[in-house]
Amino acid sequence: MHTSHKDSQSEKGGSHHFDRYRTDFGIPEEERGLRITLGKEGAWLPRHEGPCVKMRPASLRRYLHTGGRQGQAKNFTYYIQLAVLAVGFVVFVSSIGLLFGVKKSNFWLYTYTHHINLAPLAYATDYTLSPVSYVQGKAFNRFITIWLENTDYNKAAGDPNIEFFAKKGITLNNYFAVTHPSEPNYVAAVSGDYYGINNDDDNIIPANVSTVVDLLEEKGISWGEYQEYMPYTGFTGKSYKEEKTRKNRYVKKHNPLIMHASVADFPDRRACIKNFTLFYDDLKSNKLPQWLFITPDQQNNGHDTSITYAGKWLRGFLEPLLEDPHFINNTLVLVTFDENDTYSKQNRVFSILLGDVIPKNLIGSADKGFYNHYSELSTVQANWGLKSLGRYDVGANVFDIVAQKTGDSLRSLDVTKVYLNESYPGIFHRKKYAPLPVPDTEASFGGRTVLESIRNIWGKVQSKSVYKGAPLSIPSLRNPPIYPREYSRRKRRGGN
């Protein structure tokens, strides 16, 4: 059966949503984002930016029962009264702001609603950083990945603008996404797993899960994300709408690092997650980082449009950049798609390697090796001699053009049996729960060991890891991760 996917169903809800305030509620870090309990004193519910709010048991049950829509049963008069109070409050608070000389744009920065036009706040945030570094790599000195959306392999290959770039680089014939829908693929590409995500909810990966950022920073390598139509630096909202059409142009589910608390909870890291306005500023001033993740908006990535639209955007965006020395300077560029569009087919996505590090004799060629989104991690690790995350990044093939210079071997796999169409159980799976997987802190593959900070966090529970053996083949719903018996036994006894 042919199934077409545009992720629209996920926009309708599926996650509990609070207004977010930059307020310290005094909640210990270890209590943030943990499981909900209906104890005598209530429960901590996670906000999306770290702080939590406490609810009494009755309120919590009502909140969960209604999916966060606690007041929908109230009558029309109630809402009129509430609106009047809200308007009065806004007038009162605005008066205070004006009285003390607070600029309106900064004053309202600490709350967010989709009904406020944030376009003028392109530069507004705690602060913005544009770190630069010049760490020599074995195959490249800069890595840039650009993600487009939801397109079957053959359809992408047939687009004239995509074909234009294929003729300028190396086509990766057997590059696979790791599941459906969009969000878990983005998450996987930066932290080595997707933790059972089978939705596009406003999921936040716990703070004890490390990402590529930890690996890069340990070596002093600058990094940055550039998200088109994101209203301002470090924005943590679920989406941002175009004012005229009221359609989402920016969505958080396509911003991989901001979905990880180990990044989003730190202002200096949020300061490196910027919009396209700041991309062009950094480009002009020669302040682009060495690792870049670039996400076009919902139109330009093809999500709400088509591969034809996305291909034209890519041509207009990338072609001039490939000639710009501030962008291309010993640089490897990966253009890929988050997932295919037809769920019944293999989740193979059209991907191209570009840049001035591509040898002339390989321009217009094809690489038949087996790769997936975890290969982005392993390739970056191999190039700069980074540590690993101890997850599915460990066994992922390094792109052959890089492996030839790093000494990594390209392992083979029967790709005719690879589908990767459904998510295995995990902490974010809507129906099939599984515990947060423990990284293999003892992993050593290709000469790369696990980052020391990860070993310090997880080393004592190493026996519970599901990642043993650095496999090239990765799990799916058909072939889920196998949790150790020790963990299952303790779980039945009520422990962790």
pLDDT tens by residue, 181-211: 999 999 999 999 999 999 999 999 999 999 9
| Cβ atoms within 10 Å of 95's Cβ, excluding its own | 10
Residue 37 predicted with pLDDT over 80: no
- Quote the pTM value: 0.77
The Cα-based distances of 432 to 186, 427, 428, 429, 477 in angstroms read 21, 8, 9, 6, 10
The Cα-based distances of 329 to 126, 314, 318, 462 in angstroms read 31, 20, 14, 41
User: Do 391 and 439 form a contact (C-beta atoms < 8 A)?
Assistant: yes
Active-site residue flag, 281 = no
The Cα-based distances of 222 to 134, 209, 219, 272, 353 in angstroms read 8, 20, 9, 9, 21
| Cβ atoms within 10 Å of 82's Cβ, excluding its own | 12
Please give the span between the terminal C-alpha atoms of the chain, in angstroms, as a whole number.
Answer: 41
Residue 414 predicted with pLDDT over 80: yes
Residue 3 predicted with pLDDT over 90: no
Mean pLDDT of 209-228: 99
Per-residue confidence (pLDDT) for residue 77, from 0 to 100: 59
Q: Which of 7, 201, 202, 304 is catalytic?
A: 304
DSSP secondary structure letter of residue 439: P
pLDDT-based confidence at residue 243 (cuts at 50, 70, 90): confident
